[in-house]
Structure formats: structure tokens, C-alpha cells
Structure 1
Amino acid sequence: MQLADAASPQAFPRLIAELGLAPASCYVLKVKRDGQDWWLLAHGEFADANTAKALLARLPNVPGLTRNWPRKIQYLQREFDAVGP
């Protein structure tokens, strides 16, 4: 589930803590967006979208929670340019 996106991942640790999530269950993904580095914060692996939505309903509404929907990794791979060397 994508929780946030930003030009910098600097605020992600605070967001993870405020959401009460285990850092080991979160992923920071560096992608290219419009030719610039962009960062995504994702959480968990879910069997289906309904399971992810159920978790989302239990998360507190905190500043920085900008994107909050289930997303398949294949979608992210298509939406953003691959980050190369």
C-alpha cells in the first residue's frame, strides 16, 4: 500500500512512527518522475486489495499521509521510469 510520496524521504521515518507501523514492514522506493528523483513510502504485502483497505481504515490520519491506496508493484513499474545507475 502506498502511504506517501515526496521529493525527499526525510520525513518518512517520522510518518512511519506516527502511524504506529513497524519500520521493517515499510519500503522506501526511489523512482524517477518527470526526470527527477522522487520517493514513495509503501507498507506491507497484502493478499488482496480488500485486506489492504481494511488496514488503511485503521490507520490514524496524520500529516504527511498523502497517498493511501493499495497499489501493485507492476503499476509502479509502469508509472515511473526505472531508476538506473
Structure 2
Amino acid sequence: MAGPPPPVSNLNGNWHYQFRIILLGDSTVGKSSLLRRYAEGSFIPAPCPTVGVEFYSKMMELPPGIKVKLQLWDTAGQERFR
């Protein structure tokens, strides 16, 4: 049975892998509320609109002892992609 994969080097040694997740969607659909609830466990009934991008971070530990850092990007909802 193989063990966990070798750690990826990082500056402070607190995690093995890092993932960046960008949440896209229309304005005022609840992207900020969803990310804040997931990352911080809190809910604000009337949040201020996002200007540009906001960032959240969450650490997770997956079996067998692999630490993952999630960087969650909250966009303003006014992007146009072609």
C-alpha cells in the first residue's frame, strides 16, 4: 500500500497542496454569502457588494493526513468572457 504523495514545497510548510477556486456568476446571486459561510462559518444578511475580487482561505485535511489549502476568489459578478 502506497503512502501519501510527497509534499509540495511551500514557504511555511503548513500544507501539501494548494488549490485556487474562482467563483463566477451574475451580480447579486449570493456568491459572497456562499463563500463567507463556507470559509468563515458566518452569514451576513445584507452584505456590501463586492468591488473587484475578495479572497478567502480555508485549510482542509484529507485522509491520509494530506493538508490542502483552498484559496477562494469571490468575483464582482460583472465579468465578460469570450
TM-score bin, normalised by smaller chain:
under 0.3
More helix by share: 1
More strand by share: 2
The structure whose Rg is larger is: 2
> Normalization by structure 2: what TM-score?
0.25
